[in-house]
């Protein structure tokens, strides 16, 4: 019953992946559906709840399976294309987020890019498949600030650089 929706989700993700880099001749791979046994286990677990909770759990389990089609397709293709990710911080970002954003597209996944940030930082991960990620213009100033803070810290240790950067901001 859910297989057509999982397939549709995966196919849409593959189409999006191809269209997100129109200059590339890369053809995205569609992730295989999950094993039937996994879907059965999830359904059994969900329906073991009483009352409306079983319906709610089953709905959530099916939603996850459908969206996993897209997530898994994206992950497969990101790995195959050797994409890199950058932290994209908002203009009013804190010193930590600014520092993480100045690193550029060095992260191997969106999860590792975002793991470099902190809760409530409002950063997003930007994929760079072609090596041409262009950060927003306000980040040019951050690069200069980073270099000055690193020199003042006398270290490349992120915590020391952040402390020196905060001192620069307070001057």
The 10s digit of each residue's pLDDT in 30-84 is 999 989 898 889 889 988 998 899 888 888 888 888 888 988 898 899 889 988 8
Domain boundary among 37, 66, 81: 81
Domain boundary among 51, 81, 111: 81
* One domain for residues 49 and 69: yes
Using CA atoms, how far apart are residues 21 and 55, in angstroms rounded to an integer?
40
Domain boundary among 81, 115, 138: 81
* One domain for residues 72 and 89: no
Q: What is the value of pTM for the model shown?
A: 0.61
Using CA atoms, how far apart are residues 142 and 156, in angstroms rounded to an integer?
16
pLDDT band (50, 70, 90) for residue 150: very high
pLDDT at residue 160, rounded to an integer: 95
* One domain for residues 17 and 88: no
* One domain for residues 65 and 109: no
Number of domains observed in the structure of the chain: 2
With a pLDDT cut of 70, the percent of the chain lying above it is 99
* One domain for residues 23 and 52: yes
Report which DSSP code applies to 118.
-
Range of the domain at 37: 3-81
CA Rg, the chain, in Å? Answer: 21
Q: Is-contact 18 28, C-beta < 8 A?
A: yes
CA 97 and chain centroid, separation? 15
Give me the chain's average pLDDT, please.
89
């Amino acid at each position: 019953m859910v297989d057509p929706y999982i397939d549709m989700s995966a196919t849409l993700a593959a189409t999006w992946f191809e269209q997100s880099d129109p200059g590339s001749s890369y053809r995205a791979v569609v992730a295989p559906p999950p094993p039937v046994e996994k879907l059965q286990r999830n359904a059994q677990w969900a329906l073991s709840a009483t009352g409306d909770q079983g319906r709610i759990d089953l709905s959530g389990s099916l939603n996850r399976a459908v969206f996993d089609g897209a997530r898994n397709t994206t992950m497969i293709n990101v790995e195959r294309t050797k994409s890199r990710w950058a932290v994209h911080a908002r203009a009013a970002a804190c010193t930590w987020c600014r520092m993480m954003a100045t690193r550029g597209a060095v992260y191997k996944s969106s999860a590792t890019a975002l793991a470099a940030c902190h809760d409530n930082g409002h950063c997003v991960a930007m994929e760079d498949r072609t090596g041409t990620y262009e950060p927003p213009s306000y980040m040019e100033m951050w690069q200069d600030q980073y270099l000055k803070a690193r020199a003042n810290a006398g270290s490349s240790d992120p915590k020391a650089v952040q402390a020196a950067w905060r001192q620069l901001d307070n001057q």
